[in-house]
Amino acid sequence: MQRLMAANPQLTEQSAQHLLERGLREAEGGFVFTRDLRINLKNVTRISLEQSLELQSRIQARVLVLMAEAGLNKLFPPPEGCSESLMNGYQNSKNMKVMTVPGDHHIHMNQPEVVAPIITDFLLSATDSTAKL
At what angle are helices 82-91 and 49-57 packed, to 10 degrees?
A: 10
49 and 78 in contact (C-beta within 8 Å)? no
Q: pLDDT digits over 3-18, tens only?
A: 888 988 888 899 989 8
Identify the CA nearest to 87 among candidates 75, 98, 76. Answer: 98
CA distance linking residue 10 with residue 15, whole number of Å = 10
CA distance linking residue 102 with residue 68, whole number of Å = 6
Local confidence band at 121 (pLDDT 50, 70, 90 cut-offs):
very high
101 and 69 in contact (C-beta within 8 Å)? yes
Residue 31 pLDDT more than 80?
A: yes
Residue 114 pLDDT more than 50?
A: yes
Q: pLDDT digits over 60-74, tens only?
A: 889 998 888 887 766
Q: What is the model's pTM?
A: 0.68
Identify the CA nearest to 33 among candidates 46, 22, 43, 18. Answer: 22
φ, ψ for residue 125, nearest 5 deg: -65, -30
Q: What is the pLDDT of residue 133?
A: 41
95 and 64 in contact (C-beta within 8 Å)? no
